[in-house]
């Protein structure tokens, strides 16, 4: 299991969207090369995302890659008239 030193924690912004074609929730983590996973419910998708993040961080540590620095992001909505 991935652990940070001294009981610290990391927060990641997660994009969560519903895919009507596959009828599931899909997540993306922009700070981690847009790793993605899914679930039948929002809760399942977010649990799966936590597991994917832990796997990503474990792999980074094992291969000597630096842990990502979380940068502030903002999600905006753009309306385009047709």
Q: What is the CATH number of the domain that holds 18?
A: 3.30.160.250
**Does residue 7 surpass a pLDDT of 70?**
no
Give the domain range for residue 13: 5-62
Q: Are 59 and 27 spatial neighbours (Cβ–Cβ below 8 Å)?
A: no
Question: Does 76 fall in a domain?
Answer: no
**Measured between alpha carbons, how far is 11 from 37 in angstroms, rounded to an integer?**
17
Question: Does 79 fall in a domain?
Answer: no
**Does residue 1 surpass a pLDDT of 60?**
no
Q: Domain count of the chain?
A: 1
Question: Does 75 fall in a domain?
Answer: no
Question: Does 37 fall in a domain?
Answer: yes
Greater confidence, 6 or 72?
72
Question: Does 35 fall in a domain?
Answer: yes
Q: Are 38 and 25 spatial neighbours (Cβ–Cβ below 8 Å)?
A: yes
Question: Does 19 fall in a domain?
Answer: yes
């Amino acid at each position: 299991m991935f652990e940070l030193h001294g009981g610290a924690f990391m927060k990641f912004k997660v994009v969560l969207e519903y895919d009507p074609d596959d009828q599931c929730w899909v997540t993306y983590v922009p700070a981690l090369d847009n790793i993605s996973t899914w679930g039948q419910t929002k809760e399942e998708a977010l649990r799966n995302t936590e597991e994917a993040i832990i796997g990503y961080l474990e792999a980074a540590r094992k291969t000597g890659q630096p842990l990502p620095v979380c940068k502030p992001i903002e999600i905006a909505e753009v309306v385009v008239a047709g």
